[in-house]
Chain A
């Protein structure tokens, strides 16, 4: 067991620490690569350059702050409002809405960005077309390259992430605390302001930090919109710095210095997050006792809320999918009209996608990369998490715990860049730069998602269950095999699926790492819609492929979840007394004692929460790192 733990720890160290170390070295060593190059030498010249170009530096910092900060704030507001409506009000269709709101989550981010680009196109974009119907708008109601548009679109692209994290916070809130405020004579508004928000504040701060880091790590919107907008956003800056201009060596050193600056920023944000979540636990607003918080009666507010929700769903699900579909069935960008619908539409682009060998090849690579990285991450994370959760807490285990949880603090842009540098550096010895294997390794950096999930799942399994096996005569290995593994498995499977879906959707990492020979589907879609890639540019086929891509992610992801839940239901049938396992009809024969059902029920709920509700970077991270 110990040996397995050490191996897992080393794997995670290689995934998380080594690339960042290489990046730091590069920042202080040479304008190009730190090793194996004549020009490499220690120094701070990269930072000097950064300072000499300080106008550029400040403008990037400002634009990034406004872009990421603004979109984070905006998406938090939207997410909180929606979560409140779906969890805490008597809004009529809140269950349906709860599902619809999650739809954008299954659309790969690059596809979302592409769809928004189509939607807000000045002449032909469906959103602009719709807004032109309003009496007070001008010719181009939404300028696609205005900075405000950029922020709004980024907020819409990432909004599902904070939503999925806020929902459990609101659901698990101890309603009795609010009820006692209400009983003391406070109105809903006063209760919200004086009790609810102060109680939720640490949790929300945690969500804000993770959303911020996610925003810093997404390249899709800056890449598609930002190049034209004239604002230089960090993700884009980093990406352009490593692509070489004609005749020049790429400025890896300068890029590394840039990366370091932002790594410091996210580290500070992560520290804030740790503090916030630690306080959250201290305040114990989440007791997880399975009560239902009271719901607020909307009354006359029903109508404005309904309009708001409708606009949100229109903007995040209906219009993007429509815009993609319209782009796929029209040969060149034209505005929607019924004449066009009748005369100009064709479905050849879908056929072309399915007949394209490169499409199937990149799909295959996507599955290999996502599957391989999910497996590496889950296996290493589970073994290490089990070991750490079960060992007595010392500064050493706390440090390992924090370290293994730290990938949530690394924006994908920095991870992608650092991995890129690492593969360049080791290329003379281990030539894997640009290969599928490199992508598998890079994608595995999201190991912390799996680590956090396995860690809290292990904590859910009371040690007595293991001790009972030991005193029954079972060896450590038999105990792990017969008792621990079966109880951890549902969580591990759920997390595997989650990391896998995340991998299929991944865009930022391959943008830094992939070559045409190793690129996954997300990069192939981008190549098709990018006007600069001369031979491949085919926006209709790109839109068709984006739709097929989305459909495939949906089918694969939900197919896997369906398979896993079938297994869970199978177990539920053999376990009739368990509440929450779908045996709504008929009471259990004997009411189980509360504390004895807890493991199984919690395990199941956690599992459901993770497969259905949690998202990318977060997986249980709101409960979090500070649990150590």
Chain B
């Protein structure tokens, strides 16, 4: 690969991962960790792998970095083959930058020495003066240039993470890899860094592959999010789409909070809507094709899509009588739990969220409205 375009902003690369496979050996047995993952990162986009621990997201990232050797499939960056099942470009020849969860700042070097390192070693070696200039630029990007001569260990956690970022960017790689980089920071700092990281990535136009188990990070920063579970990508979409239209129970449950209620399809109409029976009440909801009358399904809706009324609103569909059993004040919002009533008996529970100004009292009998457009039907899958 060429490093000709040294001083120009080079922008991001195109990463194509096809059918990536990785297994570990444990006591002689093969334990599959990544079971055929495909995804493409368009140049300049911020792409997240989201999933619970053990889902294979970090392993996927490490395969892209070259720190793990994949067992099958291919990884290509701008057409250069980085990995096939049996041939692997070593990590130092991949032209990527990586930020680690624990920062991995070298404790025996100063801030500047850390940042200039990628410009002194084989991959991206530059003449001394030029390397210095470039490292200082990278430190400026993360506002650490005034601390350049400080020992790296004398930085705070947030500063260390910035330094790690500067180091990953110093040699202007085509792809930035981030392995849960914010998880060791405290909540407030995490929010700030999230914004900074995103705007930096945008202004540099670099492609980024971000691994996290935190759905709010993934949703807020990414152009595209892939949710992984059990070594596979279960859904890939824009953050909005992922939230509004989760593909299955796992995604619905993992990305944000969700109510799931069992229902039976009673009728279907020509608009793609369906009438289902849940909690003894008939409700209207959009419904994917292929679902037939009599089928048992799950309907899902987000707690914040529930509205409550003191009296039963006339001419509205999907209204359920309920009793509020718990109200929890969380600051910006109030969460409350309600028992759905049918003919005087409790038939189920729902969690709802709303603005703190107008929240129901504990013990109040209310009417909950589930707007049809906020509902979604999931066909029960055995994995669920």
Contacts and interface: CB of A to CB of B under 8 A. Distances in A.
Interface of A: 392, 462, 464-465, 467-476, 478, 482-483, 486-487, 571, 574-578, 588-593, 595-597, 599-600, 603
Contact of B107 (A470, A472, A475, A487): A487
Contact of B151 (A482, A578, A593): A578
Contacts of A471: 65-67, 91-92, 94, 96-98, 168, 177
Nearest to B170: A472
Residue of A468, A476, A571 ringed by the most chain B CB atoms within 10 A:
A468
Contacts of A486: 108
Contact of A467 (B97, B98, B159): B98
Contact of B117 (A474, A575, A576, A578): A474
A474 B104 contact: no
20 contacts: A464-B100, A464-B101, A465-B104, A467-B91, A470-B92, A471-B91, A471-B168, A472-B167, A472-B168, A472-B170, A473-B93, A473-B124, A475-B122, A478-B122, A482-B121, A487-B106, A575-B154, A576-B154, A590-B154, A592-B153
A486 to B, nearest CB: 5
Nearest to B160: A596
Contacts of B100: 464, 467-468
Interface string B55-96: 000000000011100000000000000000000001111111
Contacts of A470: 66-67, 90-92
A472 B154 contact: no
Contacts of A465: 104, 106
A478 B118 CA distance: 11
B219 interface: no
Contacts of A475: 90, 92, 121-122
A596 B158 CA distance: 11
Contacts of A595: 102, 184
Given A464-B100, A467-B100, A473-B92, A596 B105 contact: yes
B171 interface: yes
A468 B167 contact: yes
Contact of B153 (A472, A474, A476, A575): A575
A474 B93 CA distance: 9
A468 B104 contact: yes
6 nearest interchain CB pairs? A473-B123, A577-B154, A593-B157, A472-B118, A600-B107, A575-B151
Contacts of B336: none
Given A473-B124, A577-B154, A600-B108, 18 more contacts: A465-B106, A467-B100, A468-B100, A471-B96, A472-B117, A472-B118, A472-B170, A473-B92, A473-B122, A474-B118, A487-B108, A571-B108, A577-B151, A577-B155, A589-B154, A596-B102, A596-B155, A600-B153
A596 B160 CA distance: 8
Contacts of A590: 154-156, 159
B162 to A, nearest CB: 12
B320 to A, nearest CB: 49
Contacts of B154: 575-578, 588-590, 592
Given A468-B100, A478-B121, A595-B102, A578 B92 contact: no
A483 B107 CA distance: 9
B46 interface: no
B308 interface: no
Interface of B: 25, 65-67, 90-98, 100-108, 110, 117-118, 121-124, 150-151, 153-157, 159-160, 164, 167-168, 170-171, 177, 184
B28 to A, nearest CB: 10
A interface, over-half SS: helix
A469 B120 CA distance: 11
A486 B109 CA distance: 10
B108 A592 contact: no
Contacts of A467: 65, 67, 91, 98, 100, 104
A268 to B, nearest CB: 29
Contacts of B117: 469, 472, 474, 482
Contacts of A578: 151, 153-154
Nearest to A571: B108
B57 to A, nearest CB: 17
A462 B156 contact: no
B153 A597 contact: yes
B160 A593 contact: yes
Residue of B91, B101, B104, B177 ringed by the most chain A CB atoms within 10 A:
B104
Contacts of B92: 470-475
A476 B65 CA distance: 15
B96 to A, nearest CB: 6
Contacts of B67: 467, 470-471
A483 B168 CA distance: 16
A474 B25 CA distance: 28
Nearest to A598: B107
Contacts of A576: 151, 154
Contacts of B171: 472-473
A597 to B, nearest CB: 6
A469 B121 CA distance: 9
Contacts of A483: 106
Contacts of B96: 471
A169 B92 CA distance: 42
Contacts of B95: 473
Contacts of A600: 107-108, 153
A468 B91 contact: no
Contacts of B108: 486-487, 571, 600
A596 B102 CA distance: 7
Contact of A468 (B66, B90, B106, B159): B106
Nearest to A473: B123
Contacts of A589: 154
A574 B123 contact: no
Contacts of A478: 121-122
